Structure 1
Amino acid sequence: MAKKNILVVEDNHAILDVITLILESEAFTVDGLSKGADLINHVQNFSPDVIIMDIMLPDIDGRVLLKDLKSTPSTKHIPVLMISARYNATNYTLDGLSADDFMAKPFNIDELMDKIYVLLKK
């Protein structure tokens, strides 16, 4: 299997570092962003196979970014796993649009990896 790219959009640097370390240990190529500015251009340059994105970012609501991703023809196919400490699986949607999967923080590493592998099969 070819090496897969995963983009992590997370403003908490400790969480971003942990997720990056875990994914790199599983042989993924990982890129991280700490805010949502210019996400669409970044996605088009990095070509992620999966995006892990926090809802609460310092500059924009991750759900707005999700809406942008899913309404852009060149990025709408990319599976997105939303993560949040504030929201849960029943109240994280915006305008009826939901991500491909959701995980509450703090999360279990095994659960994170299971979700990523499922999303990669889509």
Structure 2
Amino acid sequence: MDCLFCRMVAGDVPATVVHETDRTLAFRDINPQAPTHVLVIPKAHHPTVATLASDDPDLLGAVIRAARQVAVQEGLATEDGVEPGYRLVTNTGPAAGQTVHHVHLHLLGGRDLGWPPG
């Protein structure tokens, strides 16, 4: 298999895992863009968020729920609210900067992220 994230799911490539369910995996980004930068992925391979939404919308929901759980675990959100806050980013396609073609959410926080991004 040529997909980096599928190899991480299989345990063939090391990752600093911060959260795992039967359907999702969350690990620290190796090139963090914020004090907290975690990638949240489905364990099943889907190249983009668009294909995942079409193929398995329940799994897309599981990925978002996992991201929320990581945000709470990392102190970026509370169980009953969103303070202090975090950003979820997904890039779809090369023009958007997607370099690994396995859908993944970037969970960013730990500082004021400002707007507009990029």
**TM-score, structure 1 as length reference:** 0.28
Q: Is the helix fraction higher in 1 or 2?
A: 1
Indicate the structure whose relative CO is greater, using CA pairs within 8 Å and at least 6 residues apart: 2
Instruction: Give the number of the structure whose alpha-carbon radius of gyration is greater.
Output: 2
